[in-house]
Amino acid sequence: MLKRYLLATRPWSFPVSVLPVLVTTAGLFSMGYSVSWLMALWAMAGILLFHAAGNTMSDYYDFVRGVDAQDTYGAKTLVAGEMTAAEMKRFAYILFAVATLNGLAIAWVSGWQLLWIGIAGGLVAFCYSGMKFRALGDLAIFINFGILPALGTAMVVLPHPTGEMADASLYGDALWLVLCFVPITNAVLHANNTRDIQTDLRAGIRTLPMTIGVRASQVVYYVEVLIPMVWVAICIVFGKLPWGALLILLSAPMAWGNCRTMARLTTDKDAINHLDEMTAKLQLVSSILLVAGTMGSVAIRQYFG
């Protein structure tokens, strides 16, 4: 039973929510900020809960609106009858409630300004299905897995007097790091929606790939998975990341392989059936390399003075 509920949350997608906190914390640490890694772990747990809630709520609405069927890919929990729609909806609300309570606890420790991040993230997560069906899913992902995690992490991991906002430069530094990870996060959704163009069309919804077409969708995917490689170099030039962050380039062959898979779509309609999962793995590998290179540079700098 527990396994059934765990699989319903789509755990393979969790790196896209947890890793932004880790990347932002490591990046701020490399800039000389004194960060709390314990608070970072707590923030990771919090965003993971909201992500799980958003996934289950999205699957519920996809199912009841006829988007998910026997011939569609992705989560099969409801389609296969492993859970009823009522169970999934109840599970989603429970996850949202737990995530909200956890968020309130973090805000009590870190400062109530964090509530604005939580409220915004909760609203976007709750409205995600409606946004996705109106070609706004990519915007929702950029907000909830990019801007808000970066700003929220900065509020949580940096010590400052409760009830006071930290210096604005802190949040500016945090936002510098967003493009190091969120484009690949968007690529996960984009791969999913590009694969599902026909079934989404049948369901009467509209996603970005449906709006711009297959060829343009392929180009968008290429850009999304390659941007972080370029942006890390830009951050290094402007002193926002150390040279060791270039370790992320070791994931370039994996990114190139994903791009080649997307390119096959024009001749093989089934080529990208699992590209969303492959892109989530790319997110995991690239982010770990980025953090490892960043922290390694800090360690070397501190050791050699």
pLDDT in tens, 243-274: 999 999 999 999 999 999 999 998 888 889 99
- Bigger pLDDT: 72 or 87? 87
Q: Given pLDDT bands bounded at 50, 70 and 90, which one contains residue 131? A: confident
Tell me the average pLDDT of the chain.
87
Q: What is the span of the domain harbouring residue 98?
A: 2-303
How many structural domains compose the chain? Answer: 1
- Domain of 145, CATH number, reads 1.10.600
What is the average per-residue pLDDT within 25-48? 93
Question: What's the whole-model pTM score?
Answer: 0.86
Residue 219 has a pLDDT of: 96
pLDDT tens digits, one per residue of 211-246: 999 999 999 999 999 999 999 999 999 999 999 999
What confidence score (pLDDT) does residue 61 get?
79
Q: What is the pLDDT of residues 142-191, one digit of tens each?
A: 998 999 999 999 999 986 544 444 567 888 999 999 999 999 999 999 99
Q: Decide if pLDDT at 68 tops 70.
A: no
- pLDDT on residue 184: 95
For every residue of 62-129, DSSP letters joined together read HHHTT-S-TT--S--TTTTTSS-HHHHHHHHHHHHHHHHHHHHHHHHHH-TTHHHHHHHHHHHHHTHH
Q: Is the pLDDT of residue 206 over 50?
A: yes
Contact 17, 283 (CB under 8 A): no
DSSP the chain: -HHHHHHHT-GGGTHHHHHHHHHHHHHHHHTT----HHHHHHHHHHHHHHHHHHHHHHHHHHHHTT-S-TT--S--TTTTTSS-HHHHHHHHHHHHHHHHHHHHHHHHHH-TTHHHHHHHHHHHHHTHHHHHTBT-HHHHHHIIIIIHHHHHHHHHHS---TTSPPPHHHHHHHHHTGGGTHHHHHHHHHHHHHHTHHHHHHHT-B-HHHHH-HHHHHHHHHHHHHHHHHHHHHHHHTTSS-GGGGGGGGGHHHHHHHHHHHHGGGT-TTTTTTHHHHHHHHHHHHHHHHHHHHHHHHHHHHH--
